[in-house]
Structure 1
Amino acid sequence: MELRPYQQEAHDAILDKWASGDRRVLLVLPTGTGKTIVFSKVVESCVRAGRRVLILAHRGELLNQAADKIKASTGLMCSVEKAQETSLDSFYRVTVGSVQTLMRESRLKKFAPNHFDTIIIDEAHHAVSDSYQRILDYFPEAQVLGVTATPDRGDMRNLGSVFDSLAYEYSLPKAIKEGYLVPIQAMTIPLQIDLSTVRQQAGDFSAGDVGSALDPYLEGIAEEMAKYCMDRKTVVFLPLIATSQKFCNLLKSKGFAAAEVNGESDDRERILTAFDRGDYNVLCNSMLLTEGWDCPSVDCVVVLRPTKVRSLYSQMVGRGTRLYPGKDHLLLLDFLWHTENHELCHPAHLIASSPEVAEKMTENIAEAEAPVDLEAAEETASQDVVADREAALAEKLKEMKRRKRKLVDPIQFEMSIQAEDLANYVPSFGWEGKPPTMKQLQSLEKFGIFPDDVDSAGKASVLLDRLHARREAGLATPKQIRLLESRGFQHVGTWTMADATKLIGQIAQAGWRVPRDINPATYQPQEGWVRQVVNG
């Protein structure tokens, strides 16, 4: 099976990270972009190198999917470590194992601590739990790969306690732009749902409380869905089985061909097959279908299980982002959840580059009266946030000018080169959050960056990577940026070094004054102007 370009890049990056000494690495791929294919090929590479591999998952469906995909894509067979089945007498070099089984001390002790050379954790956002940690600690020398669809670095701050580094990340917007997933259109339903009395439980909203709080609104939600979803294939996520069943009956009364599945359904497979076939156009479930279920024809997702966990929200929405003939977008319905907790996930959090952008996107989508394309909404909100930041930066630059600082403030540099990724950087993994090293600080100052405002080794590292890449590309230096922007020129970081040097020469010849025929606010170099930031 030939890998897509990003899948091959991910495979190679994982092996490179292991080879460089990072023992536990993370792979982030959006739902629907083939994470199982990628780790299947990693498994194949490990087996070719004579290694023994364990694939861990917390649900039987995920284990079966992994074994099937590995066999289909590589030809390798897997032994099973689950309940009464054991891999100890098998000659297969790949084992799919249940976390619930292997976490038991009596089961672990049947293996030598060096039995597995490689451990792969599917749905790695679960890896922070004690059960996974017990298994990883028992095989201390194994190289570990965690795979997750977590969409932002906020979730990865928790995973940073388990993994050494991020091997590769493929973003949802990039997957959409490159045509591997469908665009997402979000619609905010003007129905205010009060969650202010819902308690927190295990880091999220209590499912029981959400179910009770949601109950009075189900009739209204069903009426709203009748306006937008009647001709769509829709999956609805609800907090409780009882709520899911009640809502399914309400939808039927509105004319939907609705069905309901839950963990206790005896005919679950029959219903899922019938939904896939088109016998039903709405499928209600109580959080059963967040992982390990694919139905590419789904073109509408309704999340009635509000959550503050990004990975969970991403999994729910991911049920509808896969490509399918005739499907040109996914409709994602959101609601005006009223809660005192501002960490509630909204469609904006799927692609927003920062909390500020997500908040602005959510406001803009709520004000719209029709579905809004998420990428377009993100672009508009980003421009608004950048404008606010630049206004704040202008005030800061005035203060810097009074202090006559010779070096460039990191924020000024980031805004000048239009680098949102630098401006929104958040340390995730252990070393990234430590203070910058003396060597890093000295290097930043040598480049012309004021180092005192760089607060972590991770931020220093990405800044230095960008600075080296810009120097190789012949782009304006930080000192050129500071000198020219102090005289009113805009985004000098997008210029070439040659253009900046030429203009500085003209200013020097004019006695270090801007020549009268040049307007700094509108000036753009005529030749060699670089419009896109070098990303390293």
Structure 2
Amino acid sequence: MEETNIKNYLTTTVLNNFIDKEQYLPEGNLSANLIFNQNARNNVYRVMKMKLATCQSFTFAVAFITHDGLSQFLTVLADLKKAGIKGRILTSTYLYFNKPEAFRSLMKIDNVEVRIFNERDENGNVLPFHAKGYVFDYGEYHSVVIGSSNLTSNALLKNYEWNLNVNSLENAEITEQIRLQIEDEWNKSIPLTQEWLDLYKIKYNNNNFEQNNPIVEEKDQLNKQIEPNKMQAAALAELDSFRKDGKDKALIISATGTGKTYLGAFDVRKYQPKRFLFVVHREQILEKAMHAFHRVIGGDISEYGIYSGNRQDGLDAKYVFATVQTLSREDNLHKFRPDEFDYILYDEAHHLAAAQHQRVFNYFQPRFCLGMTATPERMDDYNIFQLFDYQIAYEIRLEDALKAQLLCPFHYYGVEDYVYQNELIGDKSSLKRLVSEKRVDYIIQQTEYYGYSGDVLHGLIFCSSVEEAKTLAKIMTAKGYPSRCLSGEDSPETRAQVAKELEDGKIKYILTVDIFNEGVDIPCINQVVFLRTTQSSIVFIQQLGRGLRKYSAKSYLTVIDFIGNYANNYLIPVALSGDKTHNKDNVRDNVDLDPIVDVSVINFTQVAKEQIYRSIKNKNMTNLLELRKEFQLEKMRLGHTPSMYELQRDSIDSQVIADKFKNYVKFLADMKQDVPDFSDYELKVLTFLTFVLVNGKRKHELLLLEALLEKGKLLEAEYQKIIADNNCYFDSHVEKSIDQILTLAFYERNSLPNKDSFGGRSLIKHDNGEYQFDRQLAGVLKGDFLAFFEDVVKTGLLRSQQYDSDRLFTIGKRYSRTDACRILNWDKIVPGLNIGGYKFDEDHQNCAIFVTYDKHDGASLNYPDRFISQSVLNMYSKVKRNLDSKDIKLFADKNYDLHLFIQKSDDDQASFIYLGTCSGMRESFKPHSMKVIKGNQTKTESVVSMNLKLDTPVDLDTYYMLTKIKY
């Protein structure tokens, strides 16, 4: 923005903010505003991150800093360092709140100068420093955030905080006051050095200051009464209900670290079995499990026994804890009667596919059998669900467990791997490159930079091969990071010994490939490092889970994922979000938004993000092999062929089915399932329902079809009541549009798609104030076809819950050009080429505007569309336009509703994000000349640029994604 524009924007903004918001409408993004955490999309963290990522320099004056608060911005600060942007932080020792680890972390940020407040009173005592101010320099202007938020995780994400954001030119009074005050305090402060930190550690320890820490290690609570947590209480109620219904089996699916062992103990205590058996596949789990049960159930410890290769005291115990390896041997197994135990619990139940487990499972006949697992989905197609009669008593996945605060929060950092001679580590990198000294130095540098919670490092590194793990362990040990490698070759005793060395702080890292995926419990782990491509989202979550157990000496887990040039990078956002939809837009959005779950935050450096975007772009996420795998998992889970509704609810997005297969019959056939023999007309009707309506972006047609399926006929008044009851917008234009869609009049014979591809006949008859099905359709609505018809309608209504039903479009959701034509109530479908960048419909006095923000090189028209602010987009018209052109005048016509849709680049294909309604700012309209490339010829055409003012400012995540990140 030019300086004159900045002055004009600020002048209007001040008048709007402090005089009259109706009379003065600000154009730029410079309004004063309140920042608070209850605004989930524009909370303190997101605003600060956005400002930091786009500034030219910054100064923070903040009393309290925690490592977990600072760590939220480490990837942004790393990107700023690459761009040569520096900053300053002034903080304090007030109340000894700031732990030494916070200062230790600050010292590792090369592009930030840190000083300690040191102004003293007449007696020489340091004055209390309680400031909370953040100043961002944008060259042309300054942005200041002042309020209640310290640089702590809770202040940034959870606490009820008030912060005022104001913007001004450098010579403004408010900016001058803040700048002079900060400079005065800065000049009186002292630099943060290692010598100062060493002295501070002594003072800190002498003051014996400890922050309240909600993360509690289970072993610290040994003398306290154990009570079920929220998840356990709900699961126990479900198990009790199962048994009352006569069910003798159940499966509990619960994320690692959420207390499955204690849950089992609580249920056994309630059941009061005459004899109980606990079966597990690893001996080292038995001792801890047995003592957990004893804590909950009580009684004489002699009633508890272990039956394993090393101990046989469980033969006559009431509560037997056995390894499957020992129990499955024929001579050992037959030491017990088949009905010996009236309650059996299988821990890590997904291992029941193994022959040893099957031998045990099939031999015993308990009155009740419980299976517990964090990952029931197996990659070998074995159906664990079937073993438990598809009876899932309770399920809690990673995101739910984090929200319920059952797990330790984590800070995930996706950083680019080592680059050598402009080549990023990738799928084909040799062992020599993977273990080169420079790469090891780079790994250590990143692990030091992103750090860990607590005073002692307890790290776990996952490598791509055993050879890499062994070599890296030796090199890292030589560089001052004592490390051990563990592989499948190591005995259980060796693994236990090395784990103990990590817990005791004798080593810093354990390096492995995949033996730590499950069954390993080292709560002290405070840093998990991934040095390999993600092959499976299941394995990714298993390995992440190694560090998510709560522990008194850590408040969060640091996760550092070194992202190289890997084809499977798309699996990272899939794993972190738990997304099973196979919808590229969803996966891409999960990267764009840097998701937050409670105080767990996911961040990527810009280069790492670009690697993931590239992987998503190149990956066919709807290839038959991947879809069949997902489909089979759902089929195993349900115990029957899933309906489209069930897939939409739990996994594959129906939009994917619509786009790739057109209808669910074709999808099932390609999944190698038996399908009914439908007529050509029936298939075309199902294609129409799936291709047009199942996306749920307008639920009106679906509600009408649902009502007709139930009643056969429907009066207009009855339908309008249904519309009102569902809080749907409705007027005469909508009513006509619904008729146009369901009679197929919207789809002309020369359109694409056309009415013939949808059966050629109307689906409904609407006359004399009454709706009913078309005669031919009514005649076939029975049997299998009726079931498929109902399934599509039900699926579309389920998917419609993603959208606001009381308005045309939902801000932030994605739409195609065809979606816009239908939802704007246009009389017919308009091909995308005819819409171009925008299309006015005079009958309905609306316009759909489609903007691709980053055009590919070589585009015939490279419009320089750009955001001036979160509220203003500068856009260019179609060619051969001037200020007197009809459509240019319509942009300033207040009688027209302008709807703005935008996509980052052509990689988004047909998908555009809806940003809301806008209006043309007439005084901004300017004529221009633009070069147009057609074949080998280039000619100059006239265009008009204009500013569009959005009625709803673009949320920060979307704005940052569109304006900052290139992919």
TM-score bracket for the superposition, by shorter chain length: 0.5 to 0.7
CA pair 359-178 structure 1, distance change in 2 beyond 3 A: same
- Partner residue in 2 for 1:323: 550
Is structure 2 residue 256 aligned with structure 1 residue 31? Answer: yes
- Pairing partner for 1:59 from 282, 294, 300: 282
Instruction: Please state how far the C-alpha of 1:57 moved relative to its aligned partner.
Output: 0.9
CA distance in 1 between partners of 2:481 and 2:314 (Å): 51
SS at match of 1:3: coil
Instruction: Please state how far the C-alpha of 1:346 moved relative to its aligned partner.
Output: 3.5
Q: List runs of 5+ in structure 1 lacking aligned partners.
A: 198-212, 389-422, 437-451, 457-475, 485-494, 524-536
SS at match of 2:235: helix
- Pairing partner for 1:176 from 387, 402, 414: 402
Instruction: Please state how far the C-alpha of 1:296 moved relative to its aligned partner.
Output: 3.3
- Partner residue in 2 for 1:82: 308
- Pairing partner for 1:429 from 628, 631, 637: 637
CA distance in 2 between partners of 1:132 and 1:425 (Å): 21
SS at match of 2:639: helix
Over residues 4-41 of structure 1, what are the superposed CA-to-partner deviations in whole Å (9 max), with x where a residue is unaligned? 11111122223333443544322111112111111111
- Pairing partner for 1:498 from 725, 731, 742: 725
CA distance in 2 between partners of 1:239 and 1:61 (Å): 26
CA distance in 2 between partners of 1:483 and 1:89 (Å): 61
Over residues 274-319 of structure 1, what are the superposed CA-to-partner deviations in whole Å (9 max), with x where a residue is unaligned? 4324444323245454434433342321234656455443332112
- Partner residue in 2 for 1:351: 577
CA contact (8 A) 1:28 1:147 kept: yes
CA contact (8 A) 2:279 2:344 kept: yes
Instruction: Please state how far the C-alpha of 1:95 moved relative to its aligned partner.
Output: 1.2
- Partner residue in 2 for 1:217: 434
SS at match of 1:503: coil
- Pairing partner for 2:416 from 182, 189, 200: 189
CA pair 511-29 structure 1, distance change in 2 beyond 3 A: closer
Instruction: Please state how far the C-alpha of 1:266 moved relative to its aligned partner.
Output: 6.9
Question: Any residues of structure 2 matched to 1:113-512 within 5 Å, and which?
Answer: 113-140=338-365, 142-150=367-375, 158-165=383-390, 166-181=392-407, 182-191=409-418, 192-195=424-427, 214=431, 216-219=433-436, 221-230=439-448, 231-232=451-452, 233=457, 234-238=459-463, 243-260=468-485, 263-264=490-491, 271-285=498-512, 287-304=514-531, 308-324=535-551, 327=554, 329-336=556-563, 346=572, 348-354=574-580, 356=582, 361=587, 426-429=634-637, 431-433=639-641, 453=664, 479-480=702-703, 497-498=724-725, 500=727, 503=730
Higher gyration radius (CA): 2
CA contact (8 A) 1:303 1:316 kept: no
Instruction: Please state how far the C-alpha of 1:172 moved relative to its aligned partner.
Output: 0.7
Alignment RMSD: 4.9
CA contact (8 A) 1:149 1:314 kept: no
The one-letter code sitting in structure 2 at the alignment partner of 1:109 is H
Q: List runs of 5+ in structure 2 lacking aligned partners.
A: 1-225, 419-423, 618-630, 645-662, 669-698, 708-721, 741-824, 826-842, 847-896, 900-915, 918-967
- Partner residue in 1 for 2:117: none
CA contact (8 A) 2:415 2:562 kept: yes
CA distance in 2 between partners of 1:18 and 1:62 (Å): 28
Over residues 61-105 of structure 1, what are the superposed CA-to-partner deviations in whole Å (9 max), with x where a residue is unaligned? 112221121112222542222237556752x33211111112222
SS at match of 1:8: helix
Is structure 2 residue 295 aligned with structure 1 residue 72? Answer: yes
Is structure 2 residue 311 aligned with structure 1 residue 93? Answer: no
The one-letter code sitting in structure 1 at the alignment partner of 2:474 is N
CA distance in 2 between partners of 1:351 and 1:83 (Å): 41
SS at match of 1:432: coil
User: 213-222 vs 164-173, which deviates more?
Assistant: 213-222
CA distance in 2 between partners of 1:294 and 1:24 (Å): 27
Please state which structure has a larger fraction of its residues in helix: 1
CA pair 244-136 structure 1, distance change in 2 beyond 3 A: same
Over residues 350-385 of structure 1, what are the superposed CA-to-partner deviations in whole Å (9 max), with x where a residue is unaligned? 4322253689758975999xxx976689xx9xxx9x
The one-letter code sitting in structure 1 at the alignment partner of 2:417 is P
CA contact (8 A) 2:269 2:296 kept: no
CA distance in 2 between partners of 1:511 and 1:477 (Å): 7
Q: Give the TM-score normalised by the residue count of structure 2.
A: 0.37
CA distance in 2 between partners of 1:294 and 1:356 (Å): 33
CA distance in 1 between partners of 2:380 and 2:576 (Å): 12
CA pair 254-366 structure 1, distance change in 2 beyond 3 A: farther
CA distance in 2 between partners of 1:367 and 1:375 (Å): 9
Instruction: Please state how far the C-alpha of 1:150 moved relative to its aligned partner.
Output: 1.7
- Partner residue in 1 for 2:876: none
The one-letter code sitting in structure 2 at the alignment partner of 1:229 is T
Instruction: Please state how far the C-alpha of 1:3 moved relative to its aligned partner.
Output: 0.9
CA contact (8 A) 2:249 2:389 kept: yes
- Partner residue in 1 for 2:235: 10
Over residues 396-420 of structure 1, what are the superposed CA-to-partner deviations in whole Å (9 max), with x where a residue is unaligned? xxxxxxxxxxxxxxxxxxxxxxxxx
- Partner residue in 2 for 1:108: 333
CA pair 159-189 structure 1, distance change in 2 beyond 3 A: farther
SS at match of 2:417: strand
Instruction: Please state how far the C-alpha of 1:44 moved relative to its aligned partner.
Output: 1.6
CA contact (8 A) 1:173 1:375 kept: no
SS at match of 2:435: helix
- Partner residue in 2 for 1:471: none
CA contact (8 A) 2:350 2:376 kept: no
CA distance in 2 between partners of 1:89 and 1:153 (Å): 32
SS at match of 2:413: strand
Relative contact order (alpha carbons < 8 A, sep ≥ 6): 1 or 2 greater? 1
CA distance in 1 between partners of 2:723 and 2:425 (Å): 52
SS at match of 1:322: coil
User: 229-238 vs 350-359, which deviates more?
Assistant: 350-359
CA pair 362-79 structure 1, distance change in 2 beyond 3 A: farther
SS at match of 2:640: helix
What is the aligned residue count?
Answer: 419
CA distance in 2 between partners of 1:221 and 1:125 (Å): 37
CA distance in 2 between partners of 1:511 and 1:284 (Å): 61
Please state which structure has a larger fraction of its residues in strand: 2
CA pair 512-126 structure 1, distance change in 2 beyond 3 A: closer
